[in-house]
């Protein structure tokens, strides 16, 4: 198996851990700081809706604590793209501005 095949398979496996579907919810433990000053916080992220952006692409509305943002997974390149929190959220739930690639990394 080539290294490209291995990387593609790994990307698919990682993206399977981030399924974007309304109602999906993640509860996880986040680590902050550097040893010996490390602390942990339980975080919750939930997909609460979706919206069609002005670029014609479907984004999923995620809420994490008090933050709202929109993510989509590109079916061609497998990257996660995000519209960050707009100042008017959550009132207008507007998708404006550009998108940015988000790299999904997991530490086991």
Q: pLDDT (tens digit, 9 = 90+) per residue, 4-55?
A: 566 667 667 767 778 899 999 999 899 999 989 999 999 999 999 999 877 7
**Mean per-residue pLDDT over the chain, rounded:** 75
107 part of a folded domain? no
- HSE of 45, CA atoms in CB hemisphere, 13 A: 17
8 part of a folded domain? no
> How many domains are contained in the chain?
1
Q: Which domain holds residue 78?
A: 19-102
79 part of a folded domain? yes
31 part of a folded domain? yes
Q: Binning pLDDT at 50, 70 and 90, where does residue 63 land? A: very high
Its pTM stands at 0.66
CA dist 48 and 62 (Å) reads 6
List the Cα angle 14/102/22 in 5-degree steps: 70
9 part of a folded domain? no
CA dist 101 and 8 (Å) reads 17
Percent of the chain with pLDDT over 70: 65
Is residue 102 over pLDDT 70?
A: no
58 part of a folded domain? yes
Any residues with CB less than 8 A from the CB of 14 and at least 6 apart, and which? 104, 105, 106
């Amino acid at each position: 198996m080539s290294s490209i095949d291995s990387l593609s398979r790994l990307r698919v496996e990682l993206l399977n851990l981030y399924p974007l579907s309304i109602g999906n919810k993640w509860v996880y433990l986040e680590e902050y700081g550097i040893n010996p000053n490390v602390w942990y916080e339980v975080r919750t992220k939930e997909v609460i809706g979706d919206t069609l952006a002005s670029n014609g692409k479907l984004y999923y509305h995620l809420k994490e604590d008090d933050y709202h943002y929109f993510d989509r997974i590109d079916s061609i390149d497998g990257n996660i793209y995000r519209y960050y929190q707009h100042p008017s959220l959550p009132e207008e739930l507007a998708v404006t501005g550009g998108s940015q690639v988000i790299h999904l990394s997991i530490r086991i």
